[in-house]
Amino acid sequence: VSVAVSCFTLVAISLERYFAICRPLQSRSWQTVTHAYISIVICWALSAMITIPIATYNKLVPYISFSKCEEKWPAKIGEQIYTSLLDLVLLFVPIFIMSMAYGMICFTLWKGIRLERLAEKGM
């Protein structure tokens, strides 16, 4: 759960920064403490939901001198599909969203610096 929460929180932060920097007038109306609490609840709820299969299929396996918690899936294909979806949801989609958000932030800041330099040269 903690890895998923961290991942979703990083995505939420990148989107919040995008709107604060690239769309500051629009973001003022919805960037409130209540919105922050709602974002936190959504991150935790999504994380809990997508990790239910891990909790469901974890079993305590006894060995000679110790016991170990292992995932025991009823079918290998189910494990492969779940792992692939987890990779998509917790790796590829967040990387894409954060890359786009921070790329747009960099472009917006670069454009502002360029316009400022042009204005200074014109004076």
The per-residue pLDDT for range 43-102, each reduced to its tens digit, is: 999 999 999 999 999 999 999 999 999 999 999 999 999 999 999 999 999 999 999 999
pLDDT of residue 122: 72
Locate 17 and state its tokens: 């920064």
User: The whole model's pTM is what?
Assistant: 0.85
pLDDT of residue 123: 65
CB 5 within 8 A of CB 40: no
3-class SS of residue 118: helix
Q: Where are the domains of the chain?
A: 2-122
Q: How far is CA 82 from CA 19, 49, 75, 88, in A?
A: 32, 13, 11, 10
3-class SS of residue 30: coil
Beta bridge partner(s), residue 67: 62
CATH class of the domain comprising 2-122: mainly alpha
How many whole angstroms from its chain centre is CA 75?
Answer: 29
What is the crossing angle of helices 33-50 and 2-22, to 10°? 140
Q: How far apart are CA 18 and CA 115, in angstroms?
A: 20
Mean of the per-residue pLDDT values for the chain?
93
